[in-house]
A = this chain, B = another copy of it.
Amino acid sequence: MSELDDDTSVTEVGEGLWSASINPRWNVGSAPNGGYLIALGARAMLAASGRPDPLTVTAHYVSPPEPGPVAVSTEVVRAGRRYATVTAAIRQGDRERVRLIGATGDLAAQSGPTRIGAAAPRARAPLACATAAGERAPEVARRYELRLDPSGGESEVEGPCEVSGWIRLSDGAPPSVLALLAFSDAFPPAVLAALDVGWVPTVELTVHVRARPEPGWVLGRFRTRFLLDGLFEEEGELWSEDGRLLAQSRQLALILPRR
């Protein structure tokens, strides 16, 4: 069992109702990281639908949860042959925290044509990259070994903001499909390469899981091109060590002034 498995575990307590607990070791400041929360919601969606893989998951972050117990309610909207459509709501008391919708399926049973129209990104080897976690890093940063490619940390004045590097779970557990969801929101926001901003809460995060990961490092590349009136997108890709695409992510986030 990995820390991520432990801290996303769900127990069925009724028809479409699950109990879970938010562990503060995934916090950024006083609020849990969004990647951890989408993994927790997806864990319940997989259990509710009886499928092994989250093909696509969308999370809307409604209000910041506190550490401690949560109730997750799930609805299997449709259970099809190829995939199931599932929703989840994470609640604390009468406060909703995260609402999710996704399609769950079985990537190993998926069949059809393959055509790859883009090369895997070139990256320095993990050990040639810089360790991201400093003394002032948030609690969640200790859950990951994150090695940022220094060439991806600076952005041109007119170019996209980019951040790239290698990631793995710091407890040594191999990456899982749920870890890919967590990794999609585990890097420092790419927009920080260009702007000194206060707080960048995610409105919406969608992750497409395209392949199951194998043991080893995962290469992440995240890019923001359009910051318009304080709203920005961040598009991400996760790749295996041997250059297979594992996941694609995109989020819409807000820049808020320092509090």
Q: How many angstroms between the C-alpha atoms of A207 and B38 in the bound complex?
A: 19
Closest B residue by C-beta to A101: B101
- A62 CB contact (under 8 Å) in B78, B114, B225, B229: B78
Q: How many angstroms between the C-alpha atoms of A256 and B233 in the bound complex?
A: 31
Q: How many angstroms between the C-alpha atoms of A166 and B109 in the bound complex?
A: 39
B245 touches A228 (CB 8 A): yes
**How big is chain A's contact interface, by range?**
35 or more
A103 touches B204 (CB 8 A): yes
Interface: A60 (CB within 8 A): yes
Interface: A124 (CB within 8 A): no
- Report the minimum CB–CB distance from A234 to chain B (whole Å): 11
Return chain B residues, CB-CB under 8 Å to A99. 77, 85, 87, 101
- Report the minimum CB–CB distance from A72 to chain B (whole Å): 15
Q: Mark A71-88, 1 if CB is under 8 A from B, else 0.
A: 000000110001101010
Interface: A115 (CB within 8 A): yes
Interface residues of A in 174-224 (CB under 8 A from B): 191, 194-195, 197, 203-204, 206, 208, 210-211, 224
B231 touches A210 (CB 8 A): yes
A116 touches B225 (CB 8 A): yes
Return chain B residues, CB-CB under 8 Å to A77. 60, 62, 96, 99
A203 touches B96 (CB 8 A): no
- Report the minimum CB–CB distance from A198 to chain B (whole Å): 11
Q: How many angstroms between the C-alpha atoms of A233 and B77 in the bound complex?
A: 22
Given contacts A62-B78, A99-B101, A225-B118, contact A233 B208 (CB under 8 A): yes
- A112 CB contact (under 8 Å) in B58, B63, B231: B231
Stretch of A18-26, A40-48, A126-134, A153-161 that contacts chain B: A153-161
Given contacts A78-B63, A99-B87, contact A113 B230 (CB under 8 A): yes
B226 touches A155 (CB 8 A): no
Q: How many angstroms between the C-alpha atoms of A85 and B231 in the bound complex?
A: 16
